[in-house]
Amino acid sequence: MECSAPQIAPRQPGHRHEGPSLSVRGACKRYGVVNANAGVSLDVAAGGIVGLLGPNGAGKTTLIRLCAGWLTPDAGEITVMGCRQSLANRGARAHLGVVSRDAPLHQELTVEETLFMRATLCGLHGPARAAACNAAVDDYCLGDFARRRIAVLSSGMRQRVAVACAMLHGPSVLLLDEPTTGLDPEIRRHIWQCLAKLRARGVAILLTTHYFEEAAALCDVVHLLIQGRISLSLSPSALDGSARLLEEAYLRAVDGAPASGGGP
């Protein structure tokens, strides 16, 4: 999973929005006869972290892509900072940062070249671009790695660069698809620290994960997505932050679900 870099419009400064930063209402997406998402609704508030747990094929990645505007829902509506999300709405995407699993960083570029390229794609130029890149180096502790090629970085450092790329244009909402999969526990916690800092700044975060410990440690609300539907919504704080209790609730939900196909 790396940093996705579609060209987007720069976010307008001073944008005010009352209500959830990200709102999903009745989102549906079919692949042939498969309901990848079947009427999914959720909200993510400013400074909130919402997690999606579910087995492979439950529709988590499809929902992230719908929220990112990369797919069009067959039914339902998604809004980002009050702007309706669609493939054509660059205004909505200007408020979004996305870290996906299937858009690799350019291996031969250095970290600073990667940041420069991403900032340009975000519509930043001149002093604004330089300021954003310098801030990213500082915020994500990339100074010692700025002139190293992506190819020689560890998986954890690449993930840190990916998050830095996604946040260059100062989005209000961050989408992450399995941001710590395959990372060792120490590096995973470094990524958690980055997300905690973004939460403190008021960024709304929606993430998918397979790690119960991660969901319990980070999320205000965890939605269990099974066969394209939210089968259960839990607050880790109500479970005393227990990853074990969260896992038990998840397994009960999965065991009680009928056997049928979901989506990516």
Share above pLDDT 70 across residues of the chain, in percent, rounded to a whole number: 89
Kindly indicate the confidence band of residue 8, based on its pLDDT and cuts at 50, 70 and 90: very low
The values of phi and psi at residue 3, to 5°, are -90, 125
Q: Which residue has the tokens 């009050």?
A: 82
> What is the per-residue pLDDT across 60-98, written as a single tens digit (0 to 9) for each?
999 999 999 999 999 999 999 999 987 667 778 889 999
Determine the pLDDT at residue 92.
81
Q: What is the CATH number of domain 20-95+171-257?
A: 3.40.50.300
Query: Which has the closest alpha carbon to 59: 237, 260, 220, 249?
Result: 260
Determine the pLDDT at residue 237.
83
Q: Which two tokens stand for residue 32?
A: 């042939």
> What is the per-residue pLDDT across 99-148, written as a single tens digit (0 to 9) for each?
987 667 999 999 999 999 999 998 999 999 999 999 999 999 999 999 99
Determine the pLDDT at residue 73.
95
Q: Provide the H-helix boundaries in 169-263.
A: 185-200, 212-218, 243-255
Q: At residue 176, does pLDDT exceed 70?
A: yes
Q: At residue 263, does pLDDT exceed 80?
A: no
List, by residue range, all CATH 3.40.50.300 domains of the chain.
20-95+171-257
